[in-house]
A and B are shown apart, each in its own frame.
Chain A
C-alpha cells in the first residue's frame, strides 16, 4: 500500500470518528426532546415521589443534559455503558446478551442473501427473457413486495405448524447447541434474506445486462472470447462494483437487528431492545445502541470503500494520486 493510500485511510478514519461523535450527540439530544419521564415509566405511576427522585439522582438524570453526556462518554472510555433505567441492569450486560443474537441471525442472512442474490442476478442476466429469468424475476418482485412479518408468519405456519419440521420461534446460541441454533435460525434468516436477495439480485441483473451491452464486451466478443468467459469475467467484474455498495449498506442489519423479525420469531436482540427502550425513554440504552450501530455502519462504509478500491481501479488510482 502506498503512503498516499495510508493518508487517505487515516483521513477517512478521522471523518468516521467525527460522524460517530455527531451521531452520539444527536441521539442524546433527540431522546431528551421526546416527552415522557424515563424514571416514571420504569417505576410505574404508583411509585412514591421520593423513591422516584432517589432513582433519578442515582441515574444522574437530575443533572443537565451536557453533564449527562460527558459522564456517559467518560464511562464509555472506562468500559462502562451506564445503567438501564427500564431493566435496572448495567447496559453492558444487556448488550452482551442481545448483540450476539442479532449477529447470529443478521450475519448469516447478509452472507447467504448476497451469495444467492449474485447467483440469481447472473442467471437472470445470462438467460435474459428465457423462462428461468422470468420465473426468478417474478419471485424477486414478489419477495420485494411481501412484508417481512407476513413472510415470517407464513413460514411459521407452513414449516412449524403444518409440517412440524422447524420450531415456531425462539433462539439458542450456536455455542450452546449448534444444531438447535440452526433449526431455530432457518426461518428468521430466510425471512430476513428474501427481501435482500430480491433487491441485490435485481441490481446484479440490471448491471450485468448493462455491462453486456457495453463496447468492451463487443471487443471481447470480436476477439473470440467465449460467451461464458465474457459473462463471468469481463461483464461480472463491472457489474459487481455497485453491488458491493448495496451489500455494505445491508450489513447494518447484522448489528442493528430487524425489529420485525425479532418480534415475529421472539428473538430478544438489538432491534427489539431499541424499540422497547425508545418507548420507555430509556435514554441510556438508546444512546448506546445508536452509538454502536453508527460505529458499525461507519466502519462498514470505510471497509466497503477500501474494498471498492480493489475492484475499481479508477478509484484506487485516484486515491494514489492524492
Chain B
C-alpha cells in the first residue's frame, strides 16, 4: 500500500426536511491509501451514498448540508472550499471520480455518449475536441464496448444498462483520478452483467493503479477484490477492518446479521439466509443510545443505559467496532452465527473453524 490519499474525519451530513434533521451521515471517519480497494457496506438508506457525495460536496442542497468534519484529500481539507469553487471543481473527476448507482439516468438523455465523454475529457485532460473524441473512443474501447466509434454517436437510451455503466466507468477512468468511487455500480444491472462489469472495473483500477471505494449492500460479490471493509448502520460506521477480519471474525452484531443475510455462492444451498429482524431506525431524533439496540439479539443492560458506543480498536489490530459488548467468544461459526428457536444467539456455543 502507498501513501494515505484520503482521510475523512468526523464527517456529518444532514438533510433539513419538514419533519426535522435527517442525520444521514453521522460522525463518519475513514481513510483510503494509494492503490487500496475498500468497501462500504450497509442496508439501504444507511448513508453510503450521501457519505460519498459529501466528499465531492455534491449533496443535493438544499435540503442537504455538510454540518461538520474534515475531508483531507492529498493533505488538503476539501471542506475548506465552497461547493462550487474552482478548487472543488478541479478535484471532481480529476481527483476523485464517481460512478453512480443509477446507470439508466446518470447520463444526459439529450446528448450523445461521445458529446458527454468529450466534454469531460476536454475539461480534465486539457485537450482539443478532436483529440478528446479520439480519447473517448479509446476510453470506450478500454471498457470493452464493441464498435466504440458507433457508440460515441449513440444517445444513452440506445445503450443497455450494462453498456451505460461501462460508459460511466470509461468516464471515471479517463479523467485519470486518484480515487474512483463506485456507488453500487452493479446493483441496477442484471445478474449476468454484474460480475463482468465489476471485474472490468477492478481490473482497470488495478491497471491504472488507482484507489477504489466500492459501495455495496452485497458483500458476497465484492469481498475477493477489497482490502478493507467499512460497515455502516444508520449513518455511522459501526465496524471496520481488513476483509479477512470482517469476513471471518465479524464482531458487531449488525455485521454478523448482515453477513448471514447475504447469499454466498460458495456456500451450500441448504444454508438458509437469515434476514436481520426489524427495520433500520428513523434518522430524525435518533435514540442517543446504540441505534442497533432494538434489533440486536446480543443486547444487555449496558446497551439499554449507555450512550451510543464510540468506535474502539480491538487489541492491536486494525479492527474497530462500535459496540458495548465483546461478543468475540460468543459467535457460532465464522459468518454463520445462527439463531436458536428463541431468536437469540447461542452465547455458549464455540467457534468452529
Contact = CB atoms under 8 A, between A and B. Distances in A.
A115 interface: no
B157 interface: yes
A224 B92 contact: yes
A223 B171 contact: yes
A314 B124 contact: no
Contacts of A225: 89, 119-120, 123
B97 A241 contact: no
A215 interface: yes
B119 to A, nearest CB: 7
A293 B79 CA distance: 60
User: Considering residues B56, B106, B123, B168, which has the most beta carbons from chain A within 10 angstroms of its beta carbon?
Assistant: B106
Interface in B81-107: 84, 89-94, 97-98, 100, 102, 105-107
A237 B111 contact: yes
B294 interface: no
A218 B90 CA distance: 16
Contact of B175 (A223, A226, A241, A314): A223
B146 interface: no
A238 B108 CA distance: 9
A241 B56 contact: no
Contact of A215 (B102, B110, B158): B102
A223 B109 contact: no
Contact of A222 (B60, B92, B109): B92
A216 interface: yes
Given A215-B102, A317-B155, A221 B92 contact: yes
Interface string A216-247: 10111111111100000010011001000000
Nearest to A222: B98
Contacts of A312: 110
A213 interface: yes
A218 B58 contact: yes
B60 A213 contact: yes
A216 B109 contact: yes
A224 B123 contact: yes
A76 interface: no
A322 interface: no
Nearest to B168: A219
Nearest to B104: A215
Nearest to A236: B110
Contact of A226 (B56, B58, B89, B102): B89
A313 interface: yes
A223 B111 contact: no
Interface in B106-129: 106-112, 119-120, 123-124
A227 B106 CA distance: 17
User: Considering residues A214, A216, A226, A314, which has the most beta carbons from chain B within 10 angstroms of its beta carbon?
Assistant: A216
Interface in B158-173: 158, 168, 171
Contacts of B105: 214-216
Contacts of B124: 223-224
Nearest to A227: B84
- Interface size of A as a range: 20 to 34
A222 B155 contact: no
A222 B110 contact: no
B106 A216 contact: yes
Contact of B107 (A219, A237, A313): A219
B108 A220 contact: yes
A17 interface: no
B119 A219 contact: no
A67 interface: no
Contacts of A215: 100, 102, 105-106
A224 B89 contact: yes
Contact of A223 (B60, B93, B110, B155): B93
Contacts of B93: 222-224
Contacts of B100: 215, 218-219, 222
Interface in B216-233: none
A224 B90 contact: yes
A139 interface: no
Nearest to A312: B110
User: Considering residues A219, A237, A312, which has the most beta carbons from chain B within 10 angstroms of its beta carbon?
Assistant: A219
A311 interface: yes
Given A216-B106, A216-B108, A222-B58, 13 more contacts: A214-B105, A215-B100, A215-B102, A218-B100, A218-B106, A222-B56, A223-B93, A224-B91, A224-B93, A312-B110, A313-B112, A314-B157, A317-B155
26 contacts: A215-B102, A216-B105, A216-B108, A219-B100, A219-B108, A221-B58, A221-B92, A222-B56, A222-B97, A223-B123, A224-B89, A224-B90, A224-B94, A224-B124, A226-B84, A226-B89, A234-B111, A237-B110, A237-B111, A238-B108, A238-B110, A241-B110, A311-B110, A313-B112, A313-B157, A314-B157
Nearest 7 CB-CB pairings of A with B: A223-B93, A224-B92, A215-B105, A216-B108, A224-B89, A313-B155, A224-B93
